[in-house]
Amino acid sequence: MSTRTLRLTSPHMHGSDVEQCQRDLNTRLQAWKISFQVKVDGDYGMESRDTARSVLYGLGVDAGGDFDGVSAADRTKIRHGWEQLDADERKLNRARARWRKRYRERIDSGKPTGHANGIDVSNNNGHVDWAKVAADGRRFAWCKASEGETFSDSFLLDNVHSARAHDILPGAYHFLRSGSAVQQAWHFAGRVRAAGLGRGDLLPVVDVEVPGVTTALVGQFVAEVKHELGVKPLIYTFPAFTRWGSTFGCKLWIANFDVARPSIPSPWKDYAVWQHSSTASVPGVSGHCDVNVTDNLEELIW
C-alpha cells in the first residue's frame, strides 16, 4: 500500500488534531478500498478542525491535496464518500433527518410559511447567540461557508448546528472570487457536506459582488454546484453589479438598501429573498447584521 501526504497549511490547527484528521481520513480510505494511506505525521494543518473534516466529506482530494496518480474512480469515491457514515455520524444524521421531518410537517400542516424574516452571518460577526436571534423572530439564516478556492469560515458548523437547534432554518453561502469556478464549487460543496446541510435546509447561495467575477464564471460555478450537490444555488447580488445575460436557472437574492422595494436586475422578474439592510441591530449578533425578508419561505428550501 502506497503512502501519500496531504498538504494543506495553516497556523490555526494543533498537531494532535491534524494527526487525528489524518487517521480519520485513512479509516475512510480503507472503507472505500482505496490502495493508499495518508501519512500520519502532524506536518500539515487546516484553518480549523471542522474544515479538516470537510476532507472526509468530499473536497480535499481536488483542493490542495498531493494526490497525483489517484484514479478517477477513487477520486469520485473520496469526493462522494461522505455518505458512508460512522456510528456517531449516523446518529447525528438521524437527528438532522428528524428535524427536517418536523419542519416539513409544519409546512404540510398548513401553518404559515410565507412571509419570514432572517439574517446572514459570517466570521465577521464572531460567536452568535442563536437563542436570542430566534427570540427576535428570525426564522432563517444563511451562514458563510467559504470564499475563493481555499478560505473556510471557521464558524460555519457551530452556526448551522446552533441555528437548527433553535428552530431557525439554516443554509450556507460561498463568496465568489475570480479564479477557478470549478475549484471554488468543489470547495463550497465540501463545506456544505461538512456542515450536514441538505434537503430540508435553505438552498445554497453564491455571493456575486466583487470586481473580476464575470457572469461566465458564475455560470460555471452554478453548473458545478448542481453537479456536486444536485441543486442550483440562489444568486446573491446587487441591482447594478453587472449586465446579466442569464439567470442560469437560479432564484435571486437581491441586496438593495434604504428603498421601499428592491430594483430587480434583468432578466430576473422578481426576487426570492431581499437583503434590505447591512447595518441592522439584531439581538445575539455582535455589531452590524445583514437582515433579509422573504414572502415565501418555502421557496427557499432545498
Q: Range with the lowest mean pLDDT among 61-65, 113-117, 242-246, 265-269?
A: 61-65
pLDDT, mean of residues 129-147: 96
**Measured between alpha carbons, how far is 218 from 244 in angstroms, rounded to an integer?**
10
**Measured between alpha carbons, how far is 239 from 245 in angstroms, rounded to an integer?**
14
pLDDT, mean of residues 105-128: 78
Q: Range with the lowest mean pLDDT among 5-9, 130-134, 210-214, 286-290?
A: 5-9
Q: What is the pLDDT of residue 228?
A: 86
Name residue 89's beta-bridge partners: none
Q: What is the pLDDT of residue 262?
A: 95
Distance linking the first and last C-alpha atoms of the chain: 41
Burial class (CB in 10 A: 0-12, 13-18, 19+), 89: middle
**Measured between alpha carbons, how far is 171 from 163 in angstroms, rounded to an integer?**
10
Q: What angle do CA 56, 51, 218 make, to 5 degrees?
A: 95
Q: What are the pLDDT digits (tens) for 156-211?
A: 999 999 999 999 999 999 999 999 999 999 899 889 988 888 888 999 999 999 99
Question: Which residue is associated with the grid cell 469526493?
Answer: 79
For residue 265 the three cell numbers come to: 436586475
**Measured between alpha carbons, how far is 190 from 229 in angstroms, rounded to an integer?**
10
Does the pLDDT value for residue 64 go beyond 60? no
Q: What is the pLDDT of residue 90?
A: 60
pLDDT, mean of residues 94-105: 63
What are the backbone angles phi and psi of residue 87, rounded to the nearest 5°? Answer: -60, -45
Q: What is the pLDDT of residue 72?
A: 56
Beta-carbon count within 10 A of 186 CB: 23
Higher-confidence residue of 30 and 188: namely 188
Higher-confidence residue of 71 and 180: namely 180
Give the helix ranges, DSSP H, for the chain: 15-31, 49-57, 72-80, 87-108, 130-135, 156-165, 181-194, 215-229
For residue 302 the three cell numbers come to: 432545498
% of the chain residues with pLDDT over 70:
63
Q: What angle do CA 284, 136, 138 make, to 5 degrees?
A: 95
Beta-carbon count within 10 A of 30 CB: 12
pLDDT band at 103 (very low <50, low <70, confident <90, very high): low
Output b/e per residue, 228-256; b: 16+ Cβ within 10 A: bbeebbbbbbbeebeebeebbebbbbbbb
Options 3.40.50.880, 3.20.20.80, 3.40.50.970, 3.40.190.10; CATH for 113-300 is 3.20.20.80
DSSP class of 170: E
Does the pLDDT value for residue 136 go beyond 90? yes
Q: What are the pLDDT digits (tens) for 222-275?
A: 999 998 888 999 999 999 999 999 999 999 999 999 999 999 999 999 999 999
Q: Range with the lowest mean pLDDT among 42-46, 104-108, 156-160, 291-295?
A: 42-46
Question: Which residue is associated with the grid cell 437582515?
Answer: 291
Domain ranges of the chain: 2-83, 113-300
For residue 90 the three cell numbers come to: 449516523
Q: What is the pLDDT of residue 199?
A: 84
Beta-carbon count within 10 A of 16 CB: 9
| Whether the Cβ atoms of residue 46 and residue 8 lie closer than 8 Å to each other | yes
For the chain, the average pLDDT equals 79
**Measured between alpha carbons, how far is 167 from 169 in angstroms, rounded to an integer?**
6
**Measured between alpha carbons, how far is 273 from 278 in angstroms, rounded to an integer?**
14
Does the pLDDT value for residue 40 go beyond 90? no
